[in-house]
């Protein structure tokens, strides 16, 4: 430990850890609620991405010398 850092007390570390855990739980809750509300957007984006990848692969296999 360097000289300029003070050792933190057990209570300070406990409170900091509890605050981090509380923040993580809140963020997890918000993320899950967002996914429940917007699942259809992610589904549409995934389908569009699969279609684009399929078209690019089809074009590459159909025209192997066009790169």
How much is the pTM? 0.55
3-state SS record for the chain: CCCCCCCCCHHHHHHHHHHHHHHHHHHHHHHHHHHHHCHHHHHHHHHHHHHHHHHHHHHHHHCCCCC
In the chain, where are the structural domains located? 10-62
Model confidence over 5-57: pLDDT tens digits? 666 799 889 999 999 999 999 999 999 999 999 999 999 999 999 999 999 99
Phi, psi of 63 (to 5 degrees): -125, 80
Q: Would you state the structure tokens that stand for residue 43, as one six-digit string?
A: 């589904």
């Amino acid at each position: 430990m360097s000289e300029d850092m003070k050792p933190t007390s057990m209570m300070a570390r406990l409170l900091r850890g509890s605050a981090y855990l509380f923040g993580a739980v809140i963020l997890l809750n918000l993320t899950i609620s967002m996914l429940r509300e917007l699942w259809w957007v992610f589904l549409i984006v995934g389908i569009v991405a699969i279609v684009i990848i399929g078209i690019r692969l089809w074009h590459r296999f159909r025209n192997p010398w066009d790169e």
